[in-house]
Amino acid sequence: MSVVSELIRSEADGTISFGDYTLGAKAKLDNFKNADAVYKVKTFQEITRLEKNGMFAYESVPGTTVTNLRDGADAVSFCVEGPEDAKITLGLEDETAYAVMVDGNDIGTLKTKLGGKLTISVELNGEPVAVSVKKVD
């Protein structure tokens, strides 16, 4: 299993990776710039949270490591790993339907409510799990 020891980093393909679920105490990094966005990350064993341009983007309980987060207008994709199963909440558009794939399995179409949050549970068994969320037209 791998963690992002610098808390957040830019990848060569323009994505970002963040989170260190091995930390016993909270750590945070603010004002991280990637492309035209500014990120803030807080992470440790109990929670990993990411904000993009001051808005909620990602949260996992317990903490996780996310690699290659691609956050587009109509889709979000990333790989996530951690020591145990996690509840992941994404900040998306209000009252919008999204097709969700976890580890290659279609888990169906989920709709956000007024706050725009979408929550999924991901089984983590020590290996990275791919998550893809795409807006349904």
What's the CATH number where 119 sits? Answer: 2.60.220
Predicted local distance difference test score (pLDDT) of residue 2:
75
The answer to the question of residue 27 being in a domain is: yes
Question: How far is C-alpha 110 from the geometric centre of its chain's CA atoms?
Answer: 17
Predicted local distance difference test score (pLDDT) of residue 101:
98
Q: Among residues 136, 102, 105, 104, which one has the least CA distance to residue 119?
A: 102
Alpha carbon distance 116, 45 (integer Å)? 26
The answer to the question of residue 76 being in a domain is: yes
**Do you know the residue count of the chain?**
137
Residue 52 is encoded by which pair of tokens? 């993009």
Predicted local distance difference test score (pLDDT) of residue 84:
94
The answer to the question of residue 2 being in a domain is: no
Q: What is Dmax (Cα atoms) for the chain? A: 42
The answer to the question of residue 95 being in a domain is: yes
pLDDT lower than 70: segments of the chain: 1
Predicted local distance difference test score (pLDDT) of residue 43:
97
Which residues span the domain enclosing 99? Answer: 8-135
The answer to the question of residue 3 being in a domain is: no
The answer to the question of residue 73 being in a domain is: yes
Predicted local distance difference test score (pLDDT) of residue 125:
81
The answer to the question of residue 40 being in a domain is: yes
Number of domains forming the structure of the chain: 1
Alpha carbon distance 9, 33 (integer Å)? 9
The answer to the question of residue 125 being in a domain is: yes
